[in-house]
Amino acid sequence: MIKLLVVDDSALVRKLLGGVFTERDGFDVRFARDGIDALEQNKSFAPDVITLDLNMPRMDGLECLDQLMIERPCPVVMVSSHTAAGAEATLKAFELGAVDFVPKPAGAVSLHLNEWAPQLVAKVRGAAGARLKSSTRLRDRVRHRIGQSKVAGVGAAGARRRSAATGEGLVLVGTSTGGPPALEALLTPLPASFPWPIIVAQHMPASFTGPLARRLNGICALSVVEVRQPVVLMPGTVYIGAGDIDIIVSRRAAGLIAMAAPGQPDYLWHPSTDRLVRSAMEHVPASQLVGILMTGMGNDGAQAMTLLHAQGGNTIAEAEETAVVWGMPGELVKAGGAEWVLPLPDIAARLQKMVP
């Protein structure tokens, strides 16, 4: 039985979401009308998962999330809008400790409930099994217990510069649930001189990948861009696939390119990691490819990266101990396709040894 706390200031939305979960087995559902109410019920009800709206009176979703992760950490799924402001707030929520998000339908929720509900339920079930890092907000939690205020964290140290690799190659990254913080941990240690392009398939809606790319670009030495049209692949650059469609590798006279492509029914998740890896293998020898599969529900990327590994490519799976959800990397490990199984903080260092 999953103990779920639904937090939303709209009585109608609370009623609709309550119906979604009570109609399904395995949920014990309670409700909170705003952030202050949610903080109280987080202590008294002790939920396994919280769905948290962003815009609420008295205390909004981000302020509430900040306190939740200090007072009693719990997997939180943010319910956010498709707007640019909603995307920026959702990325901030990942910084504060949220494990996943689901975009609220545009317009009346009741009109889109049948198509929205399965995604919401899947996200909540996935969050119930999510692993919250014991170090998440640890200093803030300790200071809260002893009555001190929060202090600013310390950023990651920059990685040392390395000489360029010989030969043409690509790094292919796939991630889903918990992906934005994992991408930050992977990319921020890498120097601007990193010699191979990095292409990322992060499962996200279209309105969220642009803000994600801009945020990563602001904190990384590497350049980070979203791909919505064909672009020649360059060293020292990270290419984020646009949401809801796929990102693939092709070759033109100017060299290797990344380009957006309409989704195909054979691939369930978008941008598809499996399709990205298979397209890269059509144009680059496996020995010149590195596949990295990090936290996420499902199995996207596991099949293609297992094939990549069998043909001589390098593959890294995030270890279970650090993955928010060990679905995608776990499937790669189970299939025998992971050359390395590493905790998230060690992946960037290994990557730099693979591409010296």
Residues involved in catalysis: 176, 203, 300
Beta-bridge mates of residue 321: none
- Bridge partners for 314 per DSSP: 290
- What residue has token string 């087995």? 25
Structure tokens at 157: 């140290």
Residues 6+ apart with CB under 8 A from 134: none
Closest CA to 8 of 123, 91, 109: 109
SS (H, E, C) 84-140: HHHHHHHHHHHHHCCCEEEECCCCCHHHCHHHHHHHHHHHHHHHHCCCCCCCCCHHH
- DSSP line for 233-289: --TTEEEEEPTTSEEEEEEETTEEEEEEE---TT--SSS-HHHHHHHHHTTS-GGGE
Q: State how far the Cα of 20 lies from the Cα of 122, in Å rounded to an integer.
A: 12
How far is residue 112 from each of residues 7, 23, 104, 118, 217, measured CA to CA in Å?
Answer: 19, 17, 9, 11, 34
